[in-house]
Amino acid sequence: MAENKKMQVALYWGAACGGCDVAVLDTNEFILDVAAAADIRLWPIAVDGKYADVEAMQDGELDLCLFNGAIRNSENEEIAKLLRRKSKVLVAFGSCACMGGIPGLANLTNREQILDRAYFHNPSIRPGSQTVPQSETEVAAGTLHLPRFYKRVYRLSDIVTVDYSVPGCPPAPAQIKDVMCAVVAATVDGGAMPPQGSVIGASDRAMCDECPRTKAEKKIARFYRPFQIMQDPTRCLLEQGLVCMGPVTRSGCGVRCPNSNMGCRGCYGPLPGVHDQGARFLSALASVIDSKDPDEINTILDGIPDVVGTAYRFSMAASLLQRSVRS
């Protein structure tokens, strides 16, 4: 139990990569300020809190839980629900928790195909091997359990009520600092928090607003894949025919991909009022294509070889159709 009046904080990962946790560490010395103000009760990458410790807490004992990663299996769901019960404020942290993230691309395939690839037609597996991981396995000493793997990827908000969302893959450390300071201020000093359900730690404006490249008129007669041309480092990427999702993505990331001469792929999520980021991108692309002829339009669009995987790179699980219906 907490002594003094330190905040009680948890950071947890679902189907995640650890990048959001590294981003928290990338706040550098700030993490020491957090430690001074808060007891970190669960943070598997860095502290030794176990599930039993969380189960033993009172409901609402945690002032803040930052949950990153998507919901992919039964353990992710179970712990999400556990943490929801134990937390006053639950934040969907990072693109995976907010909208499924890159793991959400699995929603375009299905389990049977995946099974086949991982365990049967795989160059590293002995031909004829029939073993597949099971949710229960009997061994001599007892029964071993594995979480049950779901048919598709869910967002955190599909499973529990989420108080705030902090987008980004990963969220920029500067934004993380701001978010944590705001929550500490609200919890400790009783300041006001944004309305429940808000996206925080990101701008309400598109990335183009932050991007330093020069923007002229967009009339695209041809799209290029990034290796096909040498980019002009000063001009808008989309104007050069290089796919960039800046127009439909929140800013706040520091424009880090265009600053690497690579187009944005939308990890900071859709702008306010937009439900389906990919659909919004289709509209944005359509408005800048320079043609009125259906055949020519098709030829231009053939320059974007994977429309669905580009437009929905991070947001497939949050999209309107959510997953492939191919059987």
Partner 1 sequence: MTRRIAIDPITRLEGHGKIEIFLSDSGEVQDCFFQIPELRGFERFVVGRPIEELPRIVTRICGVCPASHHMASAKAVDGCFGNEVAPVAHKLRDMYYHAHFIHSHIAHFYALAAPDFVMGPDADPAVRNILGVVAKVGLEIGGQVIRARALAQNIQQRLGGRTTHLVWCLPGGVSKGLSKAELEEIKPMVKELAGFAEFSLQLFRDIVLGNTAYVDLILNGPYSLDVHFMGLVDANNAPNFYDGLVRVVDFQGKEICKYAPVDYAEHVAEHVEPWSYLKFPYLKKRGWKGFVEGIDSSIYCATPLARLNVADRMATPRAQEAYQEMFSTLGAKPCKALLVNHWARLVEMVQNVEMLEHYCADPEITSDQFRVIPRRITGEGIGIVEAMRGTLTHHYTCDDQGMCTSANLIVGTTNNNAPIHMVTKKVARTLIGPGKEPDQGILNMVEMAFRAFDPCFSCATHSLPGQMPLIVRIHKGGQLYREFRRDIETVAPTGELQ
Partner 2 sequence: MNFEPRIVAFLCNWCSYTGADLAGTSRIPYQPNVRIIRVMCSARVDPAFVLQALATGADGVLVCGCHPGDCHYSEGNYKAMRRFPLLERVLAAYGVPRERVRLEWVSASEGQRFADLVNDMTDRLRVLGPSPIQPGLRTDAVERY
State which amino acid sits at residue 9. V
Q: Is 252 left (phi over 0), alpha (psi -120 to 50) or beta?
A: left
Span 227-246, contacts to partner 1 by CB under 8 A: 227-231, 233
Least distance (Å) between residue 179 CB and partner 1: 17
Least Cα distance to 54 among 63, 66, 64, 42 occurs for 42
Beta strand 136-139 with 142-145 is: antiparallel
Cα dihedral 67, 70, 71, 77, rounded to 10, equals -10
Closest CA to 12 of 34, 44, 37, 50: 44
Interacting partner of 285 out of partner 2, partner 1, none (Cβ under 5 to 8 A depending on kind): partner 2
Q: Is residue 175 close enough to count as binding partner 2 by CB under 8 A?
A: no
Would you say 256 and 264 are in contact if contact means Cβ atoms under 8 Å apart? no
Residues 130-169 that bind partner 1 (CB under 8 A): 131-150, 169
Distance of alpha carbon 125 from alpha carbon 117, whole angstroms: 10
Complex with partner 2: residue 21 or 77, whichever CB lies closer: 77
Bond before 272 cis per omega within 30 degrees = no
The answer to the question of residue 132 lying near partner 2 (CB under 8 A) is no
CB of 279 to partner 2, least distance (A): 4
Peptide bond preceding 194: is omega within 30 degrees of 0, i.e. cis? no
- 259 is an interface residue for partner 1 by CB under 8 A: yes
Check if the beta carbon of residue 8 is closer than 8 Å to that of residue 63: yes
Contact characters 293-322, partner 1, x per CB under 8 A: ------------xx--xx--x---------
The nearer residue to partner 2, 130 or 327, going by C-beta atoms, is 327
**Is residue 105 within the footprint of partner 2 (CB under 8 A)?**
no
Partner from partner 1, partner 2, none contacting 78, C-beta within 5 to 8 A by type: partner 1
- Per-residue mark of binding to partner 2, 59-98 (x: CB under 8 A): ---------------x--x---------------------
- Report the residue number, 149 or 288, with the smaller CB distance to partner 1: 149
Pairing of strands 62-68, 87-93: parallel
Measured from the CB atom, the residue of 193 and 301 that comes closer to partner 1 is 301
Question: Which residue do the tokens 């908000």 mark?
Answer: 157
Residue identified by tokens 């409901």 is 59
Phi, psi of 206 (to 5 degrees): -75, 160
Question: Minimum Å distance from CB 43 to partner 2?
Answer: 27
Residue 243: CB atoms within 10 Å: 23
Judged by CB under 8 A, which of 133, 226, 233, 309 binds partner 2? Answer: 309
Q: Which of residues 248-307 bind partner 2 (CB under 8 A)?
A: 275-276, 278-280, 282-283, 285-287, 289, 291-292, 294, 297-298, 301, 307
Q: Which of residues 42-71 bind partner 1 (CB under 8 A)?
A: 44-52, 55
Q: Out of partner 2, partner 1, none, which partner does residue 46 contact, by CB within 5 to 8 A per kind?
A: partner 1
Sign of the CA dihedral with 29 first, then 32, 37, and 38 last: positive
Residue 249 burial class via C-beta count within 10 angstroms: exposed 0-12, middle 13-18, buried 19 and up: buried
198 forms part of the interface with partner 1 (CB under 8 A) = no
Among 50, 117, 145, 151, binds partner 2 (CB under 8 A): 151
Q: Which residues sit at the interface with partner 2, rule CB under 8 A?
A: 74, 77, 108, 148, 150-152, 154, 158-159, 275-276, 278-280, 282-283, 285-287, 289, 291-292, 294, 297-298, 301, 307-309, 311-312, 319-327
